[in-house]
Structure 1
C-alpha cells in the first residue's frame, strides 16, 4: 500500500464551551472532552484508512488546564503510525480565552483505532508518511508506545 501523508488525516474540531457542557465549577466536563477526543480521532483515522473504524484503546488523558464556559476548545488529531490494521492517532486539545485570546494546552492523548470492513472484521491500512518535524518525531517514538500498550494489555 502507498503511504498516506499525515496532512490527509489531520482533523480539527472547534467548539464554544456553553453552559450545558460545564460542571458546577463552570469548567467543561472531562467526559465531554474525552468524547471529542474519540470522535476527532475516529474521523482522522477514517480519513487515513478510507474505511470505517472502531476504537481499540485510549491511552491516558492528562488534563493540563481547565476550559471554562465561554472559552473556545480546539481538538486536533492526526494519524502518527500504523500497524497492519491499527492506527495510532495523536490528539491535542487546546483552549482559547475568547476569540484571539490566550491559548493553552488543555490535554493530549494517543488513541488506537482499527479499520474494519462491512462485517466488522479488521482490514489492512496504509502506512503513514510523516512530513513535519513533529510528525516525524511522533512516528519515530510510536513503536515504543505500541510496545507499552501491548505490555499493559498483557497484564
Structure 2
C-alpha cells in the first residue's frame, strides 16, 4: 500500500509570453496541460505503473495567472479502484519572493494504470494514516461532487 503523502507532488512553471492568451494571462489549455502532467506523475508514483488520463472531471478556473507569475501545481492521490487512480490537482499563483499563494484552478482527474501493451493493471490500496491525509482525502471526495 502507498501512503497518500507519498503521492503529494508539486511543480512550478513561470508563465512566459508563449503560454499566454491575448490578455497576457496563462492560456487555460496550458494550465490544464500542466495540471494533467503533474496529476499523471502523482498517479504513477502511487501505482508504480504508467498511468494514462481517463477523465478530467471538471476544471474550475478561479483567477488568472499572469505572464511573469509562477504557476504552482499541486497534486495528490485521494482514492483508487482496481486499476484507476483519482487525483486532486490544484493550481496557485505563487509569489516566489514572499511565498504567498492565491488559488487559480482546481480539478479532479482519473488515471488508469497500464502495462506496455496498454492493458490495464492493478494498483495498490491507498493508505491514509494521518489527520492531514484524512483531511486531504475528505476535501477531495467532497469537492469532486461539487461540495468543495
Alpha-carbon distance change, 144 to 64 in structure 1, aligned in 2, over 3 angstroms: closer
What does the per-residue CA deviation read over 1:27-47, in whole Å, with 9 as the maximum and x for residues that have no partner? Answer: 000000000011001100111
- Give yes or no for contact 1:72–1:99 (8 Å, CA) kept in 2: no
Structure 1 stretches of 4+ with a deviation exceeding 6 A read none
Higher helix share: 1
Equivalent-residue separation in structure 2 for 1:135 and 1:101 (angstroms): 23
* Partner of residue 74, structure 1: 72
Displacement after TM superposition at 1:138 (Å): 4.6
Aligned with 2:66: secondary structure?
coil
Asked if 1:42 corresponds to 2:40, the answer is: yes
Equivalent-residue separation in structure 2 for 1:144 and 1:72 (angstroms): 25
Alpha-carbon distance change, 125 to 70 in structure 1, aligned in 2, over 3 angstroms: same
RMSD across aligned C-alpha pairs, in angstroms? 2.0
Tell me the TM-score normalized by structure 2. 0.88
- Give yes or no for contact 2:75–2:89 (8 Å, CA) kept in 1: yes
Any gaps of 5 or more consecutive residues in structure 2?
none
Tell me the TM-score normalized by structure 1. 0.84
Of 114, 117, 124, the residue aligned with 2:115 is 117
Of 89, 98, 104, the residue aligned with 1:91 is 89
Q: What are the residue-to-residue correspondences of 1:137-148 with 2, within 5 Å?
A: 137-140=135-138, 142=141, 145=144
Equivalent-residue separation in structure 2 for 1:59 and 1:128 (angstroms): 20
Higher strand share: 2
Any gaps of 5 or more consecutive residues in structure 1?
149-155
Alpha-carbon distance change, 59 to 101 in structure 1, aligned in 2, over 3 angstroms: same
